[in-house]
Structure 1
Amino acid sequence: MLDQTDLEILKLLRKNSRMQWKEIGEIVHMTGQATSARIRRLEEIGVIEGYTVKINEEKLGRIIVALITVCMKSNDHKSFQSFVLHEESVVESHRISGEGCYWLKARVRNQDDLEKLLDKILRYGNYRLQISISEITNK
């Protein structure tokens, strides 16, 4: 279904989704038009679901990264999931197996904001908190 060229195009788009098709084509040895057709096909078959922007949260003042494992008190998962989807400080969430029911990544400005978030989470269940010291990225 996907060949090496498709995978290389995806790799380039992961690094910079605003990269010009012509520039991608030069790297993968295709014309801009052929690259455009490949990308359109990847969109049509659902491999590419959309494009986004990566924001530097620290420059917005959200310097604390909290990793939170939540153990639900009840079976009301829909209410908790709705809370997570609408909580601005939660930047990533997963329903998990193993220890806990959910894993959340949150970004907050300060200890007070973190405490407020944790108090909200307590309405749904208990939590285990870890604070990130640094992020290891593949840049």
Structure 2
Amino acid sequence: MSNEVSLDQVDRDILFQLSQGGRLTNVELAKRVGLTPPPCLRRVKRLEEAGVITGYRAVIDPEALGRGLEVLVDVEIYAQDRKSFEAFEATVASYDEVVECRRMYGRPDYFLRVAVADHAAYEAFLTGKLSGLPAVLRLESHLTMKKIKATG
């Protein structure tokens, strides 16, 4: 949060409802959290301005985009200097296949979520792009058996 904001239970209810369906109208949201529309809208605006609500987005079915295979990848790198970290991060962030990249404490150094069409596309990404990066020491791929819980 950019500005420290005290959240009461109504604020938390608003955040929960919006996280479940960001396209709720203010009238519907107000009804769900037990407010009338004007104070509900003021609270939402305050949460947006304070940086608690950072945006709204559409959740898109990866299959519809031809990216039905998601692979979680642990990456360890050789380098420990800032320039190498930054170069690796910039390169990985530029790859369309990488939908999430996190620098981790400890091992692995990075955690990636990669979305591709199928196993052949993942192999091409892994061998043609990721494993060829100069800083890469080790890669470990994880395929999901079953998604139990996911947010967005």
When normalised by structure 1's length, the TM-score is: 0.92
SS at match of 2:53: coil
Task: Tell whether 2:71 aligns with 1:66.
Answer: yes
Equivalence for 1:46: 51
What is the Cα deviation at residue 63 of structure 1? 1.5
Q: 1:14 is matched with which residue: 5, 15, 19? A: 19
Write the distance in 1 (CA, Å) between the matches of 2:91 and 2:25. Answer: 38
| Distance in 2 of aligned mates of 1:48 and 1:17 | 11
The one-letter amino acid paired with 1:100 is: P
Matched, 1:121 2:123: no
Query: Which segments of structure 1 move beyond 4 Å, counting only runs of 4 or more?
Result: none
For residues 22 and 53 of structure 1, the distance between their equivalents in structure 2, rounded to whole angstroms, comes to 20
Structure 1 position 55 matched with structure 2 position 64: no
Other-structure match for 1:89: 97
Quick one: which amino acid aligns to residue 64 of structure 2? K
Structure 1 segments unaligned to the other structure (5+ residues): none
2:108 aligns to what? 100
Task: Please name the residue that 2:144 is paired with.
Answer: 132
> Residue deviations 1:102-126, cap 9 Å, x none?
0001111022221122121221312
- Percent identical: 30
Among residues 25, 28, 39, which one is paired with 2:33 in the alignment?
Answer: 28
RMSD value over aligned CA atoms? Answer: 1.5
